[in-house]
Amino acid sequence: MKTRQRQPPHDQELAGTREVRPKMIAALYVRKSTEQAGISDDAKSVLRQIERGREYAKSKGWTVREDYVFVDDGIGGAEWERRPGFMRLMNSLHPRPPFHVLVMSEESRIGREMIRVSYVLQQITRAGVHVWFYLENREGTLDSPTRQVHVVRHGICGRDGT
């Protein structure tokens, strides 16, 4: 008599198959800038970003755990060292991240310097975490030539491309 092996409760069965995959755990990074000019309405409130990030994750079938919501409220994107939420996020990547996906409203939540933002995205993705921006419904990658040109242009010319 064969005994059926029970899967952990965090696993979910794929529709119409017996294949089981682990449920994706998502983290959120939200930051409200001290500067309100030039940012989307969605980025003006950390509570709104958290709400929208949770909704987005849920729509993708991901679970957001409360301890993986990283928040920096009232801290500008040019500040890097004194952002406790950001530092906690980056420290959580080692030795192995406890989540599979990081959800943010947009890239500018990481920071304002595109070259530094790209380096941070590279660190996160190299740790095995997928980064998604819910305002554009896209995954943040550094793989495409267009993305690389965008990073270089913003790094040389500044945020507005001039």
141-153 per-position pLDDT tens digit: 876 555 555 555 5
42, 135 Cβ separation under 8 angstroms: yes
Q: Quick: pLDDT tens for 111-145.
A: 988 889 999 999 999 999 999 999 999 998 876 55
Residue pLDDT, tens place only, 13-54: 444 445 545 689 999 999 987 765 555 555 568 999 999 999
In 3-state terms, what secondary structure has residue 74? coil
Residue 53 contacts residue 103 (beta carbons within 8 Å): yes
CA-nearest of 52, 56, 53, 61 to 24 is 61
**pLDDT, tens digit, for every residue of 84-115?**
999 999 999 999 999 999 999 999 899 988 88
Sign of CA pseudo-dihedral 119, 125, 128, 132 = positive
pTM for the predicted model, two decimal places:
0.73
CATH number, domain 23-157: 3.40.50.1390
Give the start-to-end residue ranges of the domains of the chain.
Answer: 23-157
pLDDT for 71 beyond 60: yes
Neighbours of 136 (CB within 10 A): 11
Report pLDDT for 40. 55
Q: Name the pLDDT band for 154 (thresholds 50, 70, 90).
A: very low
Residue 100: its pLDDT value, please? 97
CB contact at 8 A, 65 and 23 = no
pLDDT for 55 equals 97
Question: DSSP secondary structure string, the chain?
Answer: -PPPPPPPTTEEEPTTSS-EEEPPEEEEEEEE-S--TTS-GGGG-HHHHHHHHHHHHHHTT-EEEEEEEEEEES--TT--TT-HHHHHHHHTTSSS-S-SEEEES-GGGT-S-HHHHHHHHHHHHHTT-EEEETTTTEEE-S-SHHHHHHHHHHHHH-TT--
